[in-house]
Structure 1
Amino acid sequence: MLDIVIETRQAEIAPGFAVKRILPYRLRRMVGPFIFMDHGGPVNIPAAPVNNLDVLPHPHIGLSTVSYLFSGHVTHRDSLGVEQVIKPGEVNWMTAGKGIAHSERFEDPAMLNGGELEMIQTWVALPEKDEESDPSFSNYKAEQLPVFTDKGVWMRLIAGDAYGLKSNVSTHSPLFYVHVALEPGARFGLPTGHSERGAYIARGSVEVSGITYTAGQLLVFTKGVDPLIIAREQTTLMLLGGEHLGERHIWWNFVSSRKERIEQAKEDWKQGRIVLPPMDNETYIPLPEGRGKSSNDPPPNALS
């Protein structure tokens, strides 16, 4: 029924701002093409230190970053000259391809006055044929994404296809990514047609085969099994998965099917060959030193 239950680990990505790190996990690197997942918040941020949470410009290769907010606003700037404020229910989908740098800053007036922040950030690995593609960025408004409601069930299809719905979000491989809200007692099943499937419990708790699972757990299900998920209370799930792409190496913010490509990306960032965002180029995050060659784990402060 369940391949594995992954418990979140704490990772501090900025002074005073810790997130729940979900993927990668040493016993389960990926679920479909999803290779990285962080859950930040919910947190009410005092006005004074909010700027400390800013994520300075940093690089990516070989992946798409996906930002999805439950609350708060984040300003994205990247090497392409894009400046985009992402709001709850929207999707920021940035494909790094052969290389991009971006920043994420907390500049919304509500945030500066102690507003709440809660967000999910994932990385989707690219197929080998797309790893060296030109970088791109798209923002999708909440009203552009399919929504389905039933008794005790609300869900938004963020990307891919599931439950007979298809998202307009452009992806590079077969996958699904769904935000689900369940009322107490609601019964729900996973989407079919995908070989790897997981359900992250962002809030609340669910019962599967008589066992209760709680917030902060990622349930990864056996291929071909169609479990019944019962909400024990008001619950928020993030469903994700798709088709496996093969082995991927991950180091800091770099993902690739080839270790030597990550070594090249490290040197490219050190030598300034990955361009900084033109509207945010005065500071940046330097390459972490002393970590050796590429591995299958990001450092504690890996950012999306």
Structure 2
Amino acid sequence: MPDILAPRVHDLGGFTVGRLLPHMNHRSLGPFVFFDHIGPAVLGTKNNVDVRPHPHIGLATVTYLWEGAMLHRDSLGSLQEIQPGDVNWMTAGRGIVHSERTPERLRGIDHGFHGLQTWVALPREHEETAPSFAHHPKDTLPVIEGDGVRLVIVAGHGFGQRSPVEVLSETLYVSMDLKAGAELVVPAEHAERAIFPVAGEWLLDDIPLENGKLVVLETDSLPLLFAKTDARAMLLGGAPLDGPRFVWWNFVSSSRERIERAKAEWRDQAMGRVEGETEFIPLPEK
């Protein structure tokens, strides 16, 4: 039987975020150590996304939207709006600072907002790599279509296709849309896999799935996904991490001492600044 993980839901004032990873039963899944489901919500006239500059180390952040848009700025000088179907992949490495905000063109205008924010832990040999940022428009991602199934290979590889997004470990990240009545066997090409249904009605080997919960699949299983209605989900996973990771606030590392150094760097504002931003999120006291 698959393991079902329920989210911890937080209200951010007008929209909710459901956190699936880390979870008490699964600290990670493949290289993924953090998994947030944002929305669906309506933003614009009453609220916006305004995540002030904050730091990261030891991970890559991955933003993927189905609705809405978000403006990314970072301490490398990157300025990039992400739209539905695009991929923003930011490698923090030894340290980066970024902000995420609703673009000015959408402020004051009601618009749908729905997507995922995930963190991928970097392999230990790459934890101190130089920070970098890459944007991949949706039309650069491989798409597999047929028999009512549409798969977008967001990152890593799956179903015989590989995304152009550069990853540092075995990664599975596939957006799946199935028409009513369509079915799909989930291959066992990755050691760890999970399905995150977000819309429609799904059956997994005749077991109904609940939207917003993470379904961790059994190793080497070949489950059959069936869409009772038009349905959408994300398939994620990959190879297990090369050792445990410590996660504190926005920092991920295989070393507690490295996290303590990152705390001091941010406290001293020594991790860089984001051009055009005057605010920042202070280091939490706890």
Q: What's the TM-score once normalised by structure 2's chain length?
A: 0.96
| 1:249 counterpart = 2:272 | no
Segments of 5+ residues of structure 2 without an aligned counterpart are: none
Question: Which residue of 93, 117, 133 maps to 1:137?
Answer: 133
| 1:151 counterpart = 2:147 | yes
2:181 alignment partner in structure 1: 185
Report the CA distance between 1:202 and its aligned residue: 1.2
Report the CA distance between 1:73 and its aligned residue: 1.1
1:98 alignment partner in structure 2: 94
Residues 164-221 of structure 1, C-alpha deviation per residue, up to 9 Å, x if partnerless?
0011100000111000001122111223321000100111231123221120111101
1:273 alignment partner in structure 2: 270
| 1:225 counterpart = 2:210 | no
| 1:88 counterpart = 2:87 | no
Report the CA distance between 1:21 and its aligned residue: 1.1
| 1:264 counterpart = 2:227 | no
Give, in whole Å, the separation in 2 of the partners of 1:80 and 1:279. Answer: 12
The 3-state SS of whatever aligns with 1:276 is coil
2:34 alignment partner in structure 1: 36
1:47 alignment partner in structure 2: 45
Report the CA distance between 1:109 and its aligned residue: 2.1
Contact 1:10/1:20 (CA < 8 Å) preserved in 2? yes
Task: Report how many residues are paired.
Answer: 285
Give, in whole Å, the separation in 1 of the partners of 2:176 and 2:107. Answer: 25
2:159 alignment partner in structure 1: 163
Q: Which amino acid aligns with 2:172?
A: F
Contact 2:188/2:219 (CA < 8 Å) preserved in 1? no
The 3-state SS of whatever aligns with 1:198 is strand
Residues 239-271 of structure 1, C-alpha deviation per residue, up to 9 Å, x if partnerless?
000001121110111101111111111111001
Q: Which stretch of structure 1 is more off in the superposition, 125-134 or 226-235?
A: 226-235
Give, in whole Å, the separation in 2 of the partners of 1:190 and 1:167. Answer: 18
Give, in whole Å, the separation in 2 of the partners of 1:110 and 1:59. Answer: 26
| 1:118 counterpart = 2:114 | yes
Give, in whole Å, the separation in 1 of the partners of 2:150 and 2:104. Answer: 28
Q: Which runs of 4+ in 1 moved over 6 A?
A: none
Give, in whole Å, the separation in 2 of the partners of 1:73 and 1:208. Answer: 31
Contact 1:204/1:214 (CA < 8 Å) preserved in 2? no
Identical columns (%): 42
Alpha-carbon RMSD across the aligned residues, in angstroms, is 1.2
